[in-house]
Amino acid sequence: MLLDPIKLGALVLRNRIVVSPMCQYSSPDGVPTDWHLVHLGSRAVGGAGLVFTEASSVSPEGRISPDDAGIWKPAEAAYAYALRRCGVEPADAMLVAVHPWDTDGAARAGLATAWLNRHGGPYPRYFTAPDVTVPSLTDLAERLR
């Protein structure tokens, strides 16, 4: 019975072995590492029907430890790849976002950043400050002229 397939909605698992989420506390600055690939991949290859990842916070303040995995920004390599594909130099690029975690990630990757502060609230101190803060895209266009 443990090794029998099971259907969960539209998902069919090859067996009923499930690896529960485990807090690994091994994501410096919220970025998963090769440790996660090996740790979770070995369980999947080892035959578990379903492997859960550890908790992934959508903001740094939502983590239960400084080394929890986060999904609030891509790794620097993601920005470099996108710029290469577009044929744009980092010095000529600017990431414009409404979420501070997006501008923080881009700033860490060396891009200029603009934060659209639509609600007039303060920018969180724990993120890298944006180069430009404006309330709208129209204001940003005027400022960059």
Q: For residue 49, give its domain range.
A: 6-70
In a domain, 96, yes or no: yes
pLDDT band at 17 (very low <50, low <70, confident <90, very high): very high
Q: Are residues 43 and 103 in the same domain?
A: no
Residue 66's pLDDT is: 85
At residue 36, does pLDDT exceed 80?
yes
Dump pLDDT digits (tens) for 97-127: 998 888 988 888 889 999 999 999 999 988 8
Asked if 113 and 144 count as a contact pair (C-beta separation under 8 A), the reply is no
- Tell me the residue type at 29: D
Q: Are residues 50 and 82 in the same domain?
A: no
Domain count, the chain: 2
Give the C-alpha separation, 36 to 84, whole Å: 27
> Which residue has 């070995």 as its token pair?
42
Give the C-alpha separation, 81 to 75, whole Å: 10
pTM higher than 0.75 for the full model?
A: no
Of the candidates 50, 55, 39, 60, the one whose C-alpha atom is nearest the C-alpha of residue 8 is 50
Q: Which of 9-13, 35-39, 137-141 has the lowest mean pLDDT?
A: 35-39
Dump pLDDT digits (tens) for 42-89: 988 999 999 998 888 877 778 888 888 887 666 777 888 889 999 998
Q: Are residues 66 and 99 in the same domain?
A: no
> Domain boundary at 39, 70, 101, which?
70
CATH number of the domain within which 82 lies: 3.40.50.1000
> Domain boundary at 70, 89, 119, which?
70
Q: Are residues 56 and 23 in the same domain?
A: yes
> Domain boundary at 53, 70, 87, which?
70
Q: Are residues 87 and 46 in the same domain?
A: no
Q: Are residues 94 and 64 in the same domain?
A: no
In a domain, 84, yes or no: yes
Q: Are residues 60 and 119 in the same domain?
A: no
In a domain, 61, yes or no: yes
